[in-house]
Structure 1
Amino acid sequence: MAIENIPEIYIKDSTKNSDLFVYDFKMSNDVVKSKVNLGMNMFSFLQVGKKQVHFSGNTVAVNKDQSLLLKKGNWLWTELLDTETIYYCKLFFFSEQKLTDFLSKYTNNVKPYKEEVPYFVIENDDYIAAFISSLSSKAFEKNNYSSALLSLKFDEIMLYLLDKYGNPFEYYLHALISKEISPFNSTIESHINSNLKVEEIAFLCNMSLSTFKRHFIAAYNSPPGQWFQDKRLQKAKVLLQEGHLKPSDIYLDIGYNNLSNFSTAFKNKFGINPTEISN
């Protein structure tokens, strides 16, 4: 699957100031684990549909009653239609320079915490709903004062969220410009129990598949496919031994697309069928 460079693919005139950019995104088909190189920090104001983002360390899912602030980086996006026949969200991009200017003007020089968290989930309220309604790419396309208006809109939402969430949001904003990429080992071990493919984890590590495999073997003395399978099967065995779950309850979470493949791999690893443990 090709990598999408966002927001570059949405910008028609590359000569314009790119510190702030609004884009109305619509689609009529589900997209699962699309590889995205997000070149700017971004608000995702979801209007219709569901959104899930896989990061190097974790995953977050939001619905239309929430908004998402994302740090720039390599992420996997899943965007799904809901009850409607269209997926629609408003994207508001901002540069690190714009964020730095805002922080120096309105906040203290704090030391951020939770630097590994690349997102902030926002619970929408009436004020945020009104703000989203006022935010449209068409409203700024032909306006002579579009740059000034966007700057005001950026300050508006940032100041409102600072007031709404206080210190946690302020610390998160400082963390956006304090760290670029999570460590290799942290990325690997945070996805032991995920159902991401090896090539998808390599992407989250900002590596080609061949480079990722080379680094992985050097770090873990094992090919990544075999290592992840062993770790996930060990996790499956523990879950089944606890007696609360059946193989059909866990195979997807362990990284298998169907129960048959999971059962075969489990038996090859432990010499018994998973149903023999869960019964």
Structure 2
Amino acid sequence: MPIENIPEIYLPKTMEKPDLFVYDFKMTSDVVKSKVNLSMNMFSFLQVGKKQVHFAGTSVVVNKDQSLLLKKGNWLWTELLETEAIYYCKLLFFSEKILKEFLEKHTANTIIVKEDSPYFIIGNDTYITSYLNSLSTIGNAPAIFMENLLSVKFEELMLYLIQKYGQKFEHYLQSLIADGSSPFKKIIESKIHSNLRLEEIAFLCHMSLSTFKRRFIREYKVSPGKWLQDKRLQKAKETLEEGVLKPSEIYLDFGYNNLSNFSIAYKNKFGFSPSETAS
């Protein structure tokens, strides 16, 4: 799967990366777990559809009632159509430079806050709706005015969100200019019970698959495939023992493409089938 460099793929080839950039993203078919190298922090104002993002230590799902502020980094994201025939979101990218200028101007707190979360969820409201309409309107302005207009609109949005979410949002903004890189083991152990493939976990660790495997064996003294399979099967067993879900309802969640492969691996590990556990 190719890596998409965003926002670079949305910019004209001759254009340098600006401090502020707005892009209307639309699609008419589902995109599942695309690899994204996000080189700027980004607001994703989802207007039609559903978005899921896998980060190094967590994942999040939002619909059209929510928007996301995403920290720059390597992420996997899934964009899905819902009842409409189109997926649409407005993206607002901003540089660390312009964020630092805003924080220096409008906040007293100069302490950089260590924040684990790579995202902040924003509830869409009437202000957000009118704000997005205003962004669409200034998109028709002459290029010479765009930079100044966007700068004013960015400041307006940030001030509104600080007013709405208070210190929580202010601290989150501070964390965007901090070094929030996650330790290797923390990333691995947060993905034990996901259905991500090894190459996808390696991507979240900013590593090639071969480098990831070498580092994993050094840390855990076993191959990543074997280690993850054992952890996931153990969790699958615990899930089935609760007596609520059937094997056919969980195998995808634990990284298996079909029920047969899941059943064989399960029986090899525990000596009995998943259906025997569930019954």
Q: Are residues 1:259 and 2:278 paired?
A: no
Task: Name the CA distance, whole Å, in 1 between partners of 2:108 and 2:191.
Answer: 35
Unaligned runs of 5+ in 2: none
Deviation at 1:106, TM superposition (A): 0.8
Deviation at 1:200, TM superposition (A): 0.1
Task: Name the CA distance, whole Å, in 2 between partners of 1:55 and 1:23.
Answer: 22
* Alpha-carbon spacing, 1:130–1:226, altered in 2? closer, same or farther (3 Å): same
Counterpart secondary structure, 1:145:
helix
Counterpart secondary structure, 2:144:
coil
2:207 paired residue number: 207
TM-score (norm 1): 0.95
What is the number of equivalent residue pairs in this alignment? 279
2:185 paired residue number: 185
Task: Name the CA distance, whole Å, in 2 between partners of 1:67 and 1:88.
Answer: 12
Task: Name the CA distance, whole Å, in 2 between partners of 1:112 and 1:235.
Answer: 37
* Alpha-carbon spacing, 1:221–1:137, altered in 2? closer, same or farther (3 Å): farther
TM-score (norm 2): 0.95
Q: How does 1:115-154 map to 2 (within 5 A)?
A: 115-136=115-136, 139=139, 142-154=142-154
1:76 paired residue number: 76
2:194 paired residue number: 194
Deviation at 1:195, TM superposition (A): 0.5
2:109 paired residue number: 109
Task: Name the CA distance, whole Å, in 2 between partners of 1:141 and 1:263.
Answer: 60
1:235 paired residue number: 235
Amino acid at match of 1:122: I
* Alpha-carbon spacing, 1:141–1:227, altered in 2? closer, same or farther (3 Å): farther
Query: Does the 8 Å contact 2:11/2:17 carry over to 1?
Result: no
Amino acid at match of 1:199: E
Query: Does the 8 Å contact 2:162/2:170 carry over to 1?
Result: yes
Deviation at 1:112, TM superposition (A): 5.5
Task: Name the CA distance, whole Å, in 2 between partners of 1:35 and 1:94.
Answer: 20
* Alpha-carbon spacing, 1:16–1:212, altered in 2? closer, same or farther (3 Å): closer
Deviations 1:179-237 (A, max 9, x none): 24211111000000001000000000000000000000000111111110000001111
Q: Are residues 1:61 and 2:48 paired?
A: no
Moved more, 268-277 or 236-245: 236-245
* Alpha-carbon spacing, 1:92–1:269, altered in 2? closer, same or farther (3 Å): same
Task: Name the CA distance, whole Å, in 1 between partners of 2:137 and 2:89.
Answer: 12
Unaligned runs of 5+ in 1: none
Query: Does the 8 Å contact 1:239/1:245 carry over to 2?
Result: yes
Deviation at 1:246, TM superposition (A): 2.1
Deviation at 1:66, TM superposition (A): 0.8
* Alpha-carbon spacing, 1:26–1:138, altered in 2? closer, same or farther (3 Å): farther
Task: Name the CA distance, whole Å, in 2 between partners of 1:82 and 1:76.
Answer: 20
Aligned-residue RMSD, C-alpha = 1.6
Q: Are residues 1:175 and 2:175 paired?
A: yes
Q: How does 1:1-80 map to 2 (within 5 A)?
A: 1-12=1-12, 14-16=14-16, 18-80=18-80
Task: Name the CA distance, whole Å, in 2 between partners of 1:120 and 1:213.
Answer: 31
1:98 paired residue number: 98
* Alpha-carbon spacing, 1:138–1:257, altered in 2? closer, same or farther (3 Å): farther
Moved more, 207-216 or 142-151: 142-151
Deviations 1:92-144 (A, max 9, x none): 00000111111111112254656220000000110111001122397156332
Counterpart secondary structure, 2:61:
strand
Amino acid at match of 2:184: F
Query: Does the 8 Å contact 1:44/1:67 carry over to 2?
Result: yes
Query: Does the 8 Å contact 2:8/2:17 carry over to 1?
Result: no
* Alpha-carbon spacing, 1:192–1:141, altered in 2? closer, same or farther (3 Å): farther
Query: Does the 8 Å contact 1:111/1:171 carry over to 2?
Result: no
Amino acid at match of 1:128: I
* Alpha-carbon spacing, 1:96–1:142, altered in 2? closer, same or farther (3 Å): same
